[in-house]
Amino acid sequence: MIKKIKFLNKAIFPGGQIELNKFLKKNLQYPKEAIENNIQGKVYLKFKITPKGKVYDVFVLKGIGYGCDKEAIRLVKLLKYIPPKNRRLKVTTYKKINISFKIPKKPIKKRIEIKYTIVK
């Protein structure tokens, strides 16, 4: 049995997966067109990361349309990764990500009832 040894390090997001999820939630702007058409789902993306940690060449593998694909691409292009240290080798990292679009629940406004009687 041959044991695989990892010689090259890949770019990582600062703070790991938890911080990546927080970043995506904070910066996601649900497209108006998707809300109007009640569109929800996941957009699957593939992208490359330069040896300096910059995201480029973002490609939608599976989209849901109605502006969600464009928004997912915009979000991924905002990401900045920690460049890997690989003994002076310049390594391009490939990553896949899926971004969930779920229509935000609108806060329910409570009706205020005022009861009154007219006194003469």
> H/E element holding 95?
strand 93-101
Residue type, 28: L
Query: Cα–Cα distance between 43 and 47 in angstroms, integer?
Result: 13
Question: What is the DSSP secondary-structure string of 5-23?
Answer: ---SPPPB-TTHHHHHHHH
Domains and CATH numbers, the chain: 16-101 (3.30.2420.10)
Q: What is the pLDDT along the chain (120 residues), one digit of tens a residue?
A: 666 666 788 889 999 999 999 999 999 999 999 989 999 999 999 999 999 999 999 999 999 989 999 999 999 999 999 988 888 888 889 999 999 999 877 655 556 666 777 776
Pick from 50, 53, 40: nearest CA to 12: 53
